[in-house]
Amino acid sequence: MLDALDIMANLERVRPYYQAIFSADEHTIVGYEVTGRIDLGAGAESLVSFFRDEAVPDEYRLEVDNLILEQALQRMLETDQAHLLFIHRNANLLMRDQEDSFLQLLFAYEKKGLKLSCIVLEITEHDFTGNPDQLNHLLVYYRTYGLQLAINKVGIGRSNLERLSLLAPDILKIELGNMRQTAMLQSYQDILYSLSLMARRTGATLLYEDIDAFYQLQYAWRNGGRYYQGDYLQEFRPDLLPRDLLKERLRRECHEFILHEKKRLHKVYDLTVELRSRISHILAKHRMDQLDQWLLAAGRDLADCSFRLYICDEDGFQQTANAMRQGGSWVLMPEYMQKNWSWRPYFLANIMQMRFEQKGRLSDLYADIETGEMIRTFSFPIAADRYVFIDLAYEFLYERDVLL
């Protein structure tokens, strides 16, 4: 790790480095994140550890921070300012800086022609140890001058959704580095999905960072990412780049994503049509005098794809036992009778859609409460105020390639 005194003795060797951020809609560079590096003779070295070291005096870190910022702002003035400049600041330091040197430096360059609307203040929310309300007041004050706010490393650490909502950031930077760890893949994707829903409801833009591979870029594209950043696209470098640098490459890769997604959706559609046809055939084949017995008969006909069936009314109250596949036979589990499932997300919305359309629906992939496996549920209107729910087995979905 670099010694703080070596850095302070060689400030003339400190330089800003820039990592390009690309847009999904135009496939062009929309902005740059600024970081600091120092060259003490062995090549440019990152200053991240210096800024994170709480043992380094605040005045040292502020001085180096402001030195990097001043150089970056001067470079910004030399451009057409058609891009955003992401400036990372330690939230604890911002609160302890009595002179508010960050904002004063921005004001000085605004007088020289800097557009403050091009500046994005980037903080790591879960590293802040002070009073959240005081931090929020400070950030609101900054934003009155046109600055945008980005929260980075969302999805890791101790990020609190309530505090994120309170800060109401313009941009959420979602960390994709953890997707390299296969064991964490599904649970981490669930967290990212929740964050994407929150961003949609609050109007925040999603920026996926630490994209180091093609599949991560594809994930970012599929999950609402408007901006992309990472070494797979461009590494940190000491200069700015042509705006259209990767436009053709990103257009090609985006087209691959589109083709893959359309193919996936086509498989889901084909499966939906197939299941509708099979349930219609079962309804014509088996009498419904006794619903539990009808479930067992339907289960036997659907043994290749399902492991559980049950029937609910329009309000979500279960009208039958669960019909469960156990080994090679089907059994009834009467303890599930009259359980209510209306609390499940989208349950009533799906019921109403089936009621009006009189067509079956295939759910998204989700983790089953009891088995923990990733499944889908096919639901179908079978009579007035009666809907059958058919839980499809993971193995069947895997074979049909409709897991995603």
* Predicted confidence (pLDDT) per residue in 267-294, tens digit: 999 999 999 999 999 999 999 989 999 9
What's the whole-number average pLDDT of the chain?
Answer: 92
Whether 246 maps to a domain, the answer reads: no
Identify the pLDDT of residue 200.
82
Of 208, 230, 252, the residue at which a domain comes to its end is 230
Q: Is there a domain that residue 249 lies in?
A: no
Tokens representing residue 380 in the block: 């179908």
Residues 192, 303, single domain; the answer is no
**DSSP H or E segment with residue 105:** helix 101-110
Q: In the chain, pLDDT over 90 holds for what percent of residues? A: 76
Do 26 and 112 belong together in one domain?
yes
The CATH number of residue 112's host domain is 3.20.20.450
Q: Tell me, yes or no, whether 205 and 271 share the same domain.
A: no
Q: What is the mean pLDDT of residues 38-65?
A: 93
Residues 35 and 152 in one domain: yes
Verify that 313 and 187 share a domain, yes or no.
no
Same domain, 190 and 266: no
127 and 220, same domain (yes or no): yes
pTM: 0.89
Average pLDDT over residues 12-17: 97
Does the structure show a pLDDT above 90 at 69? yes
Same domain, 219 and 95: yes
Parent domain of 276: 260-400
Number of domains in the chain: 2
Q: Is 238 among the domain residues?
A: no
Q: Are residues 288 and 164 in the same domain?
A: no
Q: Please, which pLDDT band fits residue 226 given cuts at 50, 70 and 90?
A: very high
> Is 160 domain-assigned?
yes
- Residues 183 and 292 both lie in one domain: no
Please tell me the predicted confidence (pLDDT) of residue 183.
46
Task: Write the CATH number for 321.
Answer: 3.30.450.20
In a domain, 255, yes or no: no
pLDDT higher than 60, residue 258: yes
Average pLDDT over residues 128-141: 90
- The predicted structure's pLDDT at residue 33: 98
Is there a single domain that holds both residue 296 and residue 176?
Answer: no
Closest to 271 (Cα-Cα) out of 377, 373, 348, 386: 377
Q: What is the 3-state secondary structure of the chain?
A: CCCHHHHHCCHHHEEEEEEEEEECCCCCEEEEEEEEEEECCCCEEECHHHHHCCCCCHHHHHHHHHHHHHHHHHHHHCCCCCCEEEEECCHHHHHHCCCCHHHHHHHHHHCCCCCHHHEEEEECHHHCCCCHHHHHHHHHHHHCCCCEEEEEEECCCCCCHHHHHHHCCCEEEEECHHHHCHHHHHHHHHHHHHHHHHHHHHCCEEEEECCCCHHHHHHHHHCCCCEECCCCCCCCECCCCCCCCCHHHHHHHHHHHHHHHHHHHHHHHHHHHHHHHHHHHHHHHCCCCCHHHHHHHHHHHCCCCEEEEEEECCCCEECCCEEEEECCEEEEEHHHCCCECCCCCCHHHHHHHHHHHCCCEECCCEECCCCCCEEEEEEEEEECCEEEEEEECHHHHHHHCCCC
Same domain flag for 270 and 389: yes
